[in-house]
Each structure stands twice: as C-alpha cells, then as structure tokens.
Amino acid sequence: MSSASKPLFAYPRYWAECFGPAPFLPMSREEMDQLGWDSCDIIIVTGDAYVDHPSFGMAVIGRFLEAQGFRVGIISQPDWRKPDEFMKLGKPNLFFGITGGNMDSLINRYTADLRLRSDDAYTPGGVAGKRPDRCVIVYSQRCRQAYKDTPIVIGGIEASLRRIAQYDYWSNEVRRSVLIDSAADILLYGNAERAIAEVAHEIALGKPVSELKNIRGTAVIRSSTPSGWTEIDSTRIDWPSKIDQIPNPYDFDHNSAASCASEKAAEKDEDDDVQVVRIVPMPLQRKENIDPDKTVIRLPSFEKVSKDAALYAHASRVLHQEANPFNAKPLVQKHGTQEVWVNPPPVPLETEELDGVFDLPYARLPHPSYGDAKIPAYEMIQTSVNIMRGCFGGCTFCSITEHEGRIIQSRSQDSILREIEKIRDTVPGFTGTISDLGGPTANMYRLRCKSEEILKSCKRLSCVYPTICKNLETSHKHTTELYREARKIPGVKRIAIASGLRYDLAVKDPEYVKELVTHHVGGYLKIAPEHSEDNVLTKMMKPGMGTYDEFKRMFEKYSKEAGKKQYLIPYFIAGHPGCEDEDMLNLALWLKENNFRVDQVQTFYPSPMALATAMYFSERNPLQKLTYKAKKMFVAKDLEHRRLQKAFLRYHDEKGWDRIRESLRQMGREDLIGNSPKALVPAEGKPHKPHNPKAGRKNPARGGKLAFPGKGRRR
C-alpha cells in the first residue's frame, strides 16, 4: 500500500465552514440553535466529560473536523440505559463517531486486582460509574438502535487496542475484534486525524462507508481478499522444514474439468466471479516475487487464537512487526464468516500538520454545562503542554506504541511557545507554573532515525533495546533549547517536567540532564526502572540497572552543583510475565539496600494487544522464536500470587508480612525473617524496625523518613 498521504489541511472545506468555529462544540439542541444549526454533520459520542482541550481526544478530533468545515456535536457520557440520550442532538448527516475516551473503559473502572475503582478522573466530581464497561460496544449499539442507517465510526484507545482478536483480562478469554462486536462500519486506530479527514470527506461526497476499504489507519470488514492480491500465510508457527506450496482454493484446474465441459457448456461461466488470490507460506515470502502494494498477511483466525495460546503469541508478534507505516503490510484475520482487514498504520504527521492540530481554537476549559464541578483529569493537565506524539521505547507492558506508533511526531518550538502564552493569558487562576512539557515521554522530542532510508525499512520493536540503535539521533539539543526559550516567556515562573523520563537516552546528553536537574525538577523526579533483575527486564525490553546508576550519579552531581536537595522517585512493577518470586525478593532486597520504602507501586495490568499481555496469556515469549516445544515462562496469574509479588515491593507494609514470610519459608530464606539488619520482615509478633542508618531525612517515595539512596547492584 502506498505511503503517500494527502496533506492534512489540503481538503476542500465542507460547505458548513460558513458557520465558523463554535465557542464550544454543542452538547444540546439549545446550543445548536444559538449557533444557527439545524443539524449536526457529525456527532461524537464519548465516555469522558467534554473538555475543550488538546489533551482530550474528543476535543482534538471535534475541533479538527470543525476546521474541515463540518458541524460537530458532542454527546458526553450518555446514560446508556436510555436510548433517547443518543437522539438528543438529532440524526447526524454523515456519521456517529464513537470513542471510549482517553482511557480504556475497563482500565478506567477496575484496578489490576479487578477491584472496582471508587472514582473516575474524567468525570465531573470524579464520580465513578458514568460509563458502561466496553463502552465503545455499548454506545455503538445504542446509536444503531437510534438511527439504524447512520454510519458508525469507532476510534480512540479502547477501539484501537481491540482492532484484532485480543486477550481480555477482565473476562479471561480472547474476544473478537471490537469492530465485529460493536457492529460499527469502520474502525480508526491510533492518532486518527488523517483517517478521519478522509472518511469524513468521502462520506460527505456521497461515497458509501462500505466502500472505504483502503484507508490507512483503519480496520474494516471484508468478505474475502481482493482479486490480484497475494496472501502471506502466517497462520502457523510450526512450519515443517520442507514447505510445499499451499494449494490455492481459488485456482481452477481447467484440464481436470475438461471431461465435464460439455455438461456445463450451457451454464454461465462462474469463474468470472471467482477471485484469484495467490497464497504464499510465511517462510517463503522472501523467496517469492511479491508486489508489496498488493500483499496482505493472514493471521491465525479468531477461533484458533482463542483456543491456542501459542498461536495467539505468534499473531501478536506478527502484528508488532507490521507497525512501521513505511513498510507495514495489511493484516487480515478471519472471524467466523467475516474477515477483519487492518490497513497499515497512518503516515505520521509532519511538524506543520501537528502544529495545525494544536493551534485549533480550543477553549481549554470544560464545557460550561458542568458548572463548578471539578474534573480531576482536567485539573491535572490544564497548564500542561503536549510537545510530541509516539514512543520508540517499545516497552512490552505499555500500549503507547500500539496506539501512537514508534515514529516521533513533534511540534515546532514556535507552536509550543504560543500555547504556553495562551495558557498564561486565558487559564483562570494561572499561577505562573507550566505543569509539564512532555507527552508519552519527556525526552524524545524531535528524536528520530538519522537515515530516512533506514527508517522506512526498519522493523525493530525498539530503537533503544537491547541497545540504543546507532542510527538513532540522541542529542537532546532541541529539547534543551525549548526549555530555555520557555523559561524566558514573561509571566512564566516555572516549567515543570512531569512526563516519564527515558533515562537511558538522557545519559547520552549530559547537557540536557544538567538543564533538567538545574531548572525543571521541583525536588522530586519520577523515573521508571520497573525492576532490578535482568530476567524480568529482558521481557520488559527495559535497560539494566547499570543505566539507572549512571543517571543517578549525574542527577546527584548536577543537583549538588545547583545547590538543591532533590530526589529520584523510582517506579517498579510487580507480577510482570516471567517475574518469579525470587526476582521480586531480589528487588525487595535492592529497595531495602537503597533505603527505599515505596508506596506508589504497580501490579502488571494486561492491557489489550500489548506484547506483555501476549506473554501473560500464552506463557510464551513473542520476543523470541515461538515453538510449541519451548519451555513456558512463569506467570503469576492467581490474584493472591500477584498480591504476594506486590507485597515484596512494599516490604515495609505490615499488611503483606504474612504473605512474605510464607513465601520466604518456601524459598528457604528464613534468614530474612527476624529483626536483624539484614532481615526483610520481622518474625511473627515482633515489631518492625527497618534498618535505616540515616534516619531523619525525608523519604520522597513515601513522605516518611528515609536515607538518601545508596549504591545498588549493577546490571
């Protein structure tokens, strides 16, 4: 499929551009009347409260479609039990756009331990329960009931991560593509400006949505592979050493049919309707002369991956290898009698295009209908600025890559500085602090491959693992310059950096680390080693602890030079696939050795489509060659076992001591039970006196007393 794409703002504007931009996209008929609208062209239904801010997906897509000339309405957090809620803006002229919101609805509602959360940061007042589970499916079904002939387009992270058959942690089963379960017409994945522009303009020109089959960044339903295409058959993982060509079910042997030719002479030649598709086994694809623009990879069917965990891991591996928009092939996966066809990812936005998206006339406020109700997610980001998209880290437990892609898309410095000035001038009660200049990561701004040719042919899952690619630009000069220019803006007193820092990249540019530590750390800096043990880090695709130690030395050096007392706050994950209890014990001992008593810890959360989720479900490692005979990895699936691993992270919390004691005895490590300096937990009935030779200093990790971190073991 061609990687050429139409410039984002080059489409002729739809006729409704004459109405101009709305102060807020309307959420009621009254607002539509005030704008002079008799109808909406497009209605976005979202699981989040409507905040007109570029950090909220519905606002970005809504304002972008408005800039294309369409009238866009918002139905926010409708009561899904009342069909009338989906009819309150009337019937859209073009289509419904359905999104679960900035978070997956199930991750939003349940903890990693499958407990109900007591709040929802994307709802006024933080009230929980304002959206249904799997809200993309529910909202789509309700829209179909309201106006059965209106096209339905689904997107956002919930749909994006469910575009093919995916393991569902909450039901502990593999579910079908959300495109099928929702009965939607088309699915948009990733940051969808390119796809939504093409979809909207094609429908506006009268093209049926059923004919929109080849748009990048979309998934659609097909009945079969188009004639003239080649299928690379990747439905198996255990191909024999000698591979015979697969008989093509569409080929017609005219010689064998000659004997019955007379019987069919009077019949219509049905071969005219047969689609000729060439089928090539995956192991032979490099030996065959294949047209890359008419080649699709066939994944194992939903029925097979739902019953064969090894095949599921294989399908996940193939999907992740087809993530580069410049060389990815379409994927097709059979679901019963239907075929889910996933087109290649969208071409990344150029800087000018991304600037155009962020320069749209956002009010940067929640919709006035919420009154004085606080929306916690908005309170957190109202003075933050998103400077880039994407992440080439490839951490297996993270879904950013599957959604936003590995190629960094960066805004221009001028666009970012303009947004800071707008915050200063328009945000009520602005105190002079910008809470973040970041994105998926804090320090990948304008980093990319040094070679356009290599970039377009690369299939690496990560640019920084197992080592930093020699073709990756690692200079942070653009980020450093951005920080310096942002600090010069009158009225801005402080620029904080709150996004996660990729410290293995940061250590390659000491000038950046010095700039960050000297001016942009407010006492604490959060970083995420995630674990201390190589056995786990290799499955996370994270660097070893030696890199952490190197960054820590730089951090302490520059903090001292700046005359500041500042602390690193490390984040860790328990229960990651491949993590055994001995690994968690070693991590707990590392924490104790370094006098860390962390309270904010994570248990691995199997989000749809992540590579680590494939590990969790299959107990196999898709980062390596998959076979049925390979030894399975250990995975803590039982909730009690997951809680034990979390207890090791919080070894200082007496609520987990019984679990830890039992585990230590099973491991033959009773020497770590007691009240000696080397003990991890006290014996039963004994008070716990943590070894803390520098007691009295503030612990940034928990707000209690803690010594400065000392030297840890190198990896």
**pLDDT score, position 684:** 87
Confidence of residue 312 (pLDDT cuts 50, 70, 90): very high
Identify the bridge partners of residue 332 per DSSP, sorted by sequence position: 298, 341
d(CA 329, CA 315): 14
Tens digits of per-residue pLDDT, 652-700? 999 999 999 999 999 999 999 999 999 999 998 765 554 443 333 344 4
Whether 673 and 664 have beta carbons less than 8 Å apart is answered as yes
Please report the DSSP string for 583-651 in residue order: HHHHHHHHHHHTT------EE----TT-HHHHHHHHSS-TTS---SSSPPPP---SHHHHHHHHHHHTT
* Cis amide linkage into residue 543, ω under 30° from 0: no
Return the pLDDT at 264. 41
Pairing of the two strands 433-434 and 365-366:
unpaired
The torsion defined by the Cα of 170, 175, 177 and 181, in degrees rounded to 10, comes to -90
Q: Name the amino acid, one letter, at 412.
A: S
Other beta carbons within 10 Å of 627:
12
Reported in sequence order, the residue ranges of 392-441 that DSSP labels E, i.e. its strands, are 409-410, 433-434, 436-438
At 432, list the tokens.
């002079």
How many Å apart are CA 664 and CA 581, to the nearest integer? 9
pLDDT of amino acid 445: 98
Topology at the third CATH level for domain 383-520 = Transcription Regulator spoIIAA (3.30.750)
**pLDDT at residue 588, as a whole number:** 97
pLDDT greater than 50 at residue 561: yes
Classify domain 15-217 by CATH number.
3.40.50.2300
Crossing angle of helices 611-618 and 309-321, rounded to 10°: 170
**Is 278 in a helix, a strand, or coil?**
strand
Q: Where are the domains of the chain?
A: 15-217, 222-240+275-345, 383-520, 530-541+551-715
For the stretch 313-349, pLDDT in tens is 999 999 999 999 999 999 999 999 999 999 999 999 9
Q: What is the mean pLDDT of the chain?
A: 90
Residue 590 or 254, more confident: 590
pLDDT (average), residues 165-183: 98
pLDDT of residue 275: 55
Confidence of residue 615 (pLDDT cuts 50, 70, 90): very high
Residue 491 pLDDT more than 80?
Answer: yes
> For residue range 580-611, what is the model confidence (pLDDT) as tens digits?
999 999 999 999 999 988 877 899 999 999 99
Q: What is the pLDDT of residue 401?
A: 85
User: Stretch 512-540: mean pLDDT, rounded?
Assistant: 95
**CA 219 to centroid of chain Cα atoms:** 17
What residues contact residue 648 under an 8 Å CB cut-off, 6+ apart? 574, 581, 584, 585, 587, 588, 656, 660, 663
Q: What is the DSSP string of 348-391?
A: PPPHHHHHHHHTS----EE-GGGTT---HHHHHHTTEEE-EE--
Alpha helix positions (H), 36-188: 57-67, 105-109, 135-146, 156-160, 178-182
Weakest-pLDDT range from 273-277, 302-306, 538-542: 273-277
Pairing of strands 365-366, 51-52: antiparallel
Among 527, 572, 562, CA closest to 548: 527
Going by C-alpha positions, the residue among 640, 634, 567 that lies closest to residue 603 is: 640
Q: How many whole angstroms separate alpha carbon 511 and alpha carbon 525?
A: 17
Check residue 537 and give its pLDDT.
97
Query: How much is the pTM?
Result: 0.91
366: left (phi over 0), alpha (psi -120 to 50) or beta: beta
3-state secondary structure of 108: helix
First to last CA, the chain: 43
Is pLDDT at 140 greater than 90 in this prediction? yes
344 Ramachandran zone, left/alpha/beta (phi>0; psi -120 to 50): beta
Predicted confidence at residue 499, as pLDDT, reads: 92
CA distances from 602 to 25, 264, 312, 486, 501 (A): 37, 68, 25, 33, 17
What mean pLDDT do residues 629-638 have?
Answer: 94
Residue 704 — pLDDT band, cuts 50, 70, 90?
very low
CA distance 550 to 711: 11
- Say if residue 130's pLDDT is above 90: yes
Residue 87: how many CB atoms within 10 A of its CB? Answer: 17
CA distance 1 to 605: 34
Q: Find the mean pLDDT for residues 106-118.
A: 96
In this model, does residue 706 exceed pLDDT 60? no
What type of residue sits at position 587?
A: L
